[in-house]
């Protein structure tokens, strides 16, 4: 079975400061890893993914994530937070080979204070 853990329900950061949203995973086989963002009353929007290659992946809106195989982590980062980044963030995983459905974490709410 595969699983994702997002240990923080909420992360608070001041605008302009760097942010990190944590994610660890468990999967049999090679992982495909994803980050999605959800704004209030909206669907999930894809931010970035890791499939293979460089451990640092860059995505939309200045976000990036670092894949660490030994720590089974895929933390989301941004060098300088914006108030508009405030949203709910989900980490997700699937195994390769394996079913294409994603397994999601419980989500982390990011609050960026002006």
Partner 1 sequence: NAGVTQTPKFRILKIGQSMTLQCTQDMNHNYMYWYRQDPGMGLKLIYYSVGAGITDKGEVPNGYNVSRSTTEDFPLRLELAAPSQTSVYFCASSFNRLAGDTGELFFGEGSRLTVL
Contact set with partner 1 (CB under 8 A): 4, 9, 32, 34, 36, 41-46, 49, 51, 90, 94, 99-107
Maximum distance among all Cα pairs of the chain, rounded to whole angstroms: 44
Shortest CB 100 distance to partner 1, Å? 5
Could you tell me the CA-to-CA distances from 34 to 50, 58, 113 in Å, in that order?
6, 11, 26
Judged by beta carbon, residue 70 or residue 99, the one nearer partner 1 is 99
Shortest CB 96 distance to partner 1, Å? 9
Shortest CB 76 distance to partner 1, Å? 15
Judged by beta carbon, residue 19 or residue 91, the one nearer partner 1 is 91
Cross-strand bridge partners of residue 35: 48, 91
């Amino acid at each position: 079975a595969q699983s994702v853990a997002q240990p923080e329900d909420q992360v608070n950061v001041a605008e302009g400061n760097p942010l990190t949203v944590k994610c660890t995973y468990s999967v049999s086989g090679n992982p495909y890893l994803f980050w999605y963002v959800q704004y209030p009353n909206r669907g999930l929007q894809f931010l970035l993914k890791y499939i293979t290659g460089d451990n640092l992946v860059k995505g939309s809106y200045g976000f990036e994530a670092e894949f660490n195989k030994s720590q089974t982590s895929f933390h989301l980062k941004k060098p300088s937070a914006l108030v508009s980044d405030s949203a709910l963030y989900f980490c997700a995983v699937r195994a390769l080979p394996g079913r294409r459905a994603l397994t999601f974490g419980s989500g982390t709410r990011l609050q960026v204070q002006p």
